[in-house]
Structure 1
Amino acid sequence: MTTDNLGALSDAGVSIWLDDLSRERLNTGNLADLIAHQHVVGVTTNPTIFASALAKGAAYDQQVRELVARGADTDAAVREITTSDVRHACDLFRSLYESTDGVDGRVSIEVDPRLANDTEATIAEALDLAKAVDRPNLLVKIPATVEGLPAITKVLAEGISVNVTLIFSTARYRDVMEAFVAGLEQAKANGHDLRGIHSVASFFVSRVDSEIDKRLEALDTPRAQELRGQAAIANARLAYAAFEETFRGERWEALAADGARPQRPLWASTGVKDPAYSDTRYVDELVVAGTVNTMPEKTLHAVADHGKITGDTVTGRAAQAQEVFDGLSEVGIDLDDVFVVLETEGVDKFEKSWAELLDTVTGQLNQAKD
């Protein structure tokens, strides 16, 4: 398999992160191989990924037996299993973290999704996770719910690096960037070195097309059909324009003078769900320096094999993207409702995956007791 396309993507300034982690990947050397040969410079995780990993194979059996011997309950077992994998991955990426001055070599772990609408509980969980993993290249994932915004600010103010997840709309993204800047200002007041605080904002892509395309199909008009498959990329390009607006001006420059780094946009949910579309479109069409693209391994291999990396495909395209959104509004798509639905479904999906994770671990603990 050629890595030329992935190399070109990396050379264009896009950090390639893998959207997956498991004990098997760590133990078999698969992740190390992706780092060495496929330009992977970071990893993201979420409850769905951990639920899938725990349900497969025997990689966790020994640790489960040890947890049973110590009398660990399900919640404690889940915490130890997930933080162990993330800590191991952080160690694997440590040299990359150091060689990129902390920009890459990052591994994310998400707060319990059941806390998405509880600010104080999210803060406490984020601080606890950072302490449990105890690695400088960790990113704690906090969802961009209304209740998550003040938690983002508080956790950053404590000097902890944050991956803000489940961002769907540009309006919410602006709120996230405000929370980030406020967090750095508080961190500075608290005496933290801003050079050591990093953040990415995970802007979800494919789910936007899935939801809006479904609504366009229901309209069943020629104009609606013309707009299919355009919303997600337009949405991301508008988000990038908002990023450019935020990270300039006196307020940001004051922080940058003290070593602050911009909160990088991260394109998440980049696996293509509609087989009618190119399986590399959410990579090819979102190339711009200073961003991250976190992709499942299937998408990573597709890009390596037949991606079309042609340079910057984002900068200067906000007006064109706005035309798409104007068109969606004109045909009757309620964009505000779309983003509310997507956020609600996103939290619900992660809660269900967390429940599956708890059930799986409970079953493994019980089996190990027999």
Structure 2
Amino acid sequence: MKVPASISSLSRIGTSVWLDDLSRDRIVSGNLADVIESKGVVGVTTNPAIFAHAMSQGHAYDAQLQELASNDVPADSAVFAMAAEDVRAACDVFRPIYDATHGRDGRVSLEVDPRLANEKDATVAQAKNLARTVDRPNLMIKIPATEECLPAISEVLGAGISVNVTLIFSEARYRQVMEAFIEGIALARDNGHDLSTIHSVASFFVSRVDTEIDKRLDEIGTPEALALKGKAGVANARSAYAAFEEMLLNNADWQKLEEAGGRVQRPLWASTSVKNSDYPDTLYVTELAGPHTVNTMPEATLDAVIDHAEVGGDTLSGTESAAHTVFESLTSVGIDCADVWAVLEDEGVQKFVDSWNELLDTLSAQLDK
């Protein structure tokens, strides 16, 4: 396998490259295996919007839909039956990478029903059920970082299940996620699980931060405000990375769990496609490269990185002060960051719920044919 130079550089720095997309067509056509072989991808993430797009296009799911319809399976169960089959197959494709990296990479993520984002017990129950259904060691269950689901993260990890925590927008919420992670790994130890088999990532969203804050800077309209456009997303992620170094890499409580076999929860940069064409299309990759990280990219961003990204080295370590300066400037021009984080989390959950509901409507019509 000849890995593209930019992807090799990211790997040497410590950033694993995962693909933010999955469909049955990718799997059965051999495309998923090809992006592993030719583009250096070592994992894949999914979300409700990705499955909504995949399952509403083409005919790859027709045969399974017919079988499900003949058994009178309701639409919400049908969605997870089809998603589980795709994720199981993807796990098998990535299994050699999982084995070679001792579980660090070769991961495939499957998200719980986004409508459960405010229901801790239902989230835990579904996470355990999905883990049993897919039955692959390289599966990660995605759980949103809502306040209500923070205890669910701990409980699912405590059951020995690897977790991808999603929809993180603020450093404050990320700190709560890391606390939930440490609590969950301690619970797993107390429950007798092999800590070396439990892995976790914390998906910190990037481009949506710039989209929301840039909109507010435009509304303010002063030269000072406009000069800050396109700076918040990277600065926010860099602040999060500094929190990661503090709470996990340099934390005595975590180090005791690591000595017992625990694997550190890595920051994962999500939403890394640039939404503003004025910004470099590789911005959220080259500026967020560093040890112990994952960057999950849609294929267009991945191709841009391979084609022309200049990966110069670690762009995360030692950036905390500059990142905090950006947020001091944002506050000084009138940006209410607490409101930004609340809006982004609410919108993030709602976007996934809307995609899910649209998919259920589509499948209900197909199941009723």
- TM over 0.5, yes or no? yes
Match of 2:317 in 1: 315
Residue of structure 2 equivalent to 1:69: 70
Match of 2:336 among 334, 337, 351: 334
Q: State the 4+ residue runs in structure 1 displaced beyond 4 angstroms.
A: none
Tell me the CA shift for residue 361 of structure 1: 1.2
Following TM superposition, by how much is the alpha carbon of 1:158 offset from its aligned partner in structure 2, in angstroms? Answer: 0.4
Aligned pair 1:245/2:212, yes or no? no
Given residue 200 of structure 1, which amino acid in structure 2 is its aligned partner? V
Residue 364 of structure 2: aligned partner: 362
- Post-superposition shift, 1:363? 2.1
Alignment of structure 1 residues 345-356 onto 2, 5 Å = 345-356=347-358
Alignment of 1:192-203 (within 5 A): 192-203=193-204
Q: Distance in 2 between matches of 1:250 and 1:164?
A: 23
Query: Identity across aligned pairs (percent)?
Result: 59
Deviations 1:146-178 (A, max 9, x none): 001000000001010000000000000000000
| Deviates further, 99-108 or 64-73 | 64-73
- How far is the alpha carbon of 1:366 from its aligned partner? 2.3
Matched, 1:139 2:175: no
Contact 2:3 2:37 in 1 (8 A): no
Structure-1 residue corresponding to 2:326: 324
Partner of residue 54, structure 2: 53
After TM superposition, give the deviation of residue 129 of structure 1 in Å: 0.7
CA positional deviation for 1:2? 8.6
Kindly provide the amino acid, as one letter, of the partner of residue 214 in structure 2: D
Question: Counterparts of 1:58 and 1:204 in 2: how far apart (Å)?
Answer: 32
Counterpart-to-counterpart distance in 2, 1:222 and 1:249: 41
* Corresponding position: 1:207 with 2:208: yes
How high is the TM-score relative to the length of structure 1?
Answer: 0.98
CA RMSD of aligned residues (A): 1.1
User: Is the deviation greater in 2-11 or in 312-321?
Assistant: 2-11
Report how many aligned residue pairs link the two structures. Answer: 367
Gaps of 5+ in 2: none
Aligned letter for 2:144? Answer: P
Aligned pairs for 1:42-191 (under 5 A) are: 42-191=43-192
**Corresponding residue of 1:344:** 346
Q: 1:344 to 1:105 in 2, by over 3 A?
A: same
SS in 1 for 2:344: helix
Q: Distance in 1 between matches of 2:100 and 2:27?
A: 21
- Output the CA distance in 1 between the equivalents of 2:341 and 2:252: 31
Q: Per-residue displacement from partner, 1:6-45 (whole Å, max 9, x unpaired)?
A: 2222222211000000000001111100001101000000
Q: CA deviation at 1:69?
A: 2.0
**Counterpart-to-counterpart distance in 2, 1:115 and 1:46:** 14
Structure 1 regions of 5+ residues with no counterpart?
none
Aligned partner of 1:303 in structure 2 is 305
State the distance in 2 between where 1:349 and 1:72 align.
Answer: 25
Q: Distance in 1 between matches of 2:93 and 2:9?
A: 24
